[in-house]
Amino acid sequence: MAPPVLLARTISTFFMDRQDDVSGKNCLDRVHGRLHVDEPAIQTVGNEFMKKIAILVIAAINKPVYVHYIKSYWTAVIRHTNAQKPNIDVYLLLENGMAMEVFKDIADNVIMDENSDLDALCDPEFQTPLIPGILSKTIFALEVLHDRYDVFFRTNLSSMIKISAFEEFVESRESICYSGAWTWTDSLRKDLVHHGKIGPEKSIKSLEELDDYEGNTFVSGAGYFLNSDEARSLVEKRDRIRYDIADDVSVGLMLRRHEQLDRFSAIVTHDKPPDDIVATIRSPEACHIRLEYFPPRLARAVWYELRDDPVWR
């Protein structure tokens, strides 16, 4: 039998339609572990109030290294957070119709985009392997989850999150807004022009098309935070979202408030020796690590060194 898939229709049915036979209250028994409609968003541990956090991971299986990340690090993280972190949920975001075999052991933590008509979001002339698919499944996941969490962190498979340090960072902050380590502050429109995204033959003919968008800063899609109000705003305004440009740039157009998080993230490049890479990951400097363009062999070697190390837990 094929494993269950956390499709939008399935989640929505449980979140909105399911009636508990005993209590008569709307609830989610365990489509995903600890979520209940009648729960407060903020979890309590002892006498402490803890923010409810969703980590959203853009997933793909078109490269061997992506499959490695799914089967190794992300499966380990999902099992760890499911068992040990009641306030943190990790979801892998899939495009519509993606094969599920790779995800069979973590199927309860998969959200598959219900939208199968990307042409309705973006003219095929301007589509790429990433546009508009990444943004479509991001907005779809927010549509499903936006009122269940206090904080969202959108990232991708080639990231490594040190969960306890990440949790401490979120809890240490009085508030979270659209933010991340790598930001293009007040230069979003300049960046579009610089990269040749504006012009008669482009999807955006003139910068005047963007006059009604309040944002002019974007945060790298390798890792950015949203609070629940920002997630809700994106869902409510999803018909205004520009699906014809890079997903992180498009999100930045929609949001005016932003923050740069110094030393929150670090980049590790593939040209470093494995020992140096592992040392950087173990360093307390950053709790989000971007593994940039690792070949499968190097990714496996690094995971071999770290799989039993508590640094990522």
How far apart are the C-alpha atoms of 107 and 292, rounded to whole Å? Answer: 26
Burial of 186 per CB tally in 10 Å (0-12, 13-18, 19+) = exposed
Q: State the pairing for strand pair 223-227/151-156.
A: antiparallel
At residue 91, the pLDDT reads 98
Q: For the ranges 32-36, 152-156, 205-209, 306-310, which has the lowest average pLDDT?
A: 32-36
279 pLDDT higher than 70: yes
pLDDT value of residue 49: 83
Instruction: Give burial (CB, 10 Å; 0-12/13-18/19+) of 16.
Output: exposed
Q: Which domains does the chain have, with CATH numbers?
A: 8-266 (3.90.550)
pLDDT tier, 285 (very low <50, low <70, confident <90, very high otherwise)? confident
Token output for 219 = 């945060």
* pLDDT, mean of residues 218-227: 97
What local confidence, expressed as pLDDT, does residue 191 receive? 97
The answer on pLDDT for 87 being more than 90 is yes
Cβ atoms of 92 and 61 closer than 8 Å: no
Q: Which residues pair with 287 in a beta bridge?
A: none
DSSP 3: P
Structural tokens at position 81: 């957070």
pLDDT given for residue 8 in this prediction: 39
Angstrom distance (rounded) from CA 150 to CA 173: 12
- Counting Cα atoms < 13 Å in the Cβ hemisphere of 87 gives 22
Instruction: State the pLDDT at residue 42.
Output: 54
Question: How confident is residue 183, by pLDDT bands cut at 50, 70 and 90?
Answer: very high
What is the pLDDT confidence band of residue 44, given thresholds at 50, 70 and 90? low
Residue of 263, 258, 73, 87 whose CA lies nearest to 175 = 258
Q: Is the dihedral of CA 176, 74, 132, 200 positive or negative?
A: positive
Residue 155's φ and ψ, nearest 5 degrees, are -145, -160
Residues in contact with 214: Cβ distance below 8 Å, sequence separation at least 6, in sequence order:
254, 255, 256
Query: Mean of the pLDDT values across residues 213-242?
Result: 97
Which of the four pLDDT bands, split at 50, 70 and 90, describes residue 7? very low
Contact between 160 and 312 (Cβ < 8 Å): yes
- Cα(23)–Cα(139) distance, integer angstroms: 33
Helix 75-84 × helix 163-172 angle, to 10°: 50
Predicted pLDDT at 97: 96
Q: Kind and range of the H or E element at 269?
A: strand 265-269
**254 and 233 in contact (C-beta within 8 Å)?**
yes
The lowest-confidence range among 42-56, 84-98, 153-167 is 42-56
25 or 258, which is more confident: 258
In three-state secondary structure terms, 28 is coil
- pLDDT tens by residue, 230-275: 999 999 999 999 999 999 999 999 999 999 999 999 999 999 999 9
Contacts of 260 (CB under 8 A, 6+ apart): 179, 180, 181, 183, 185
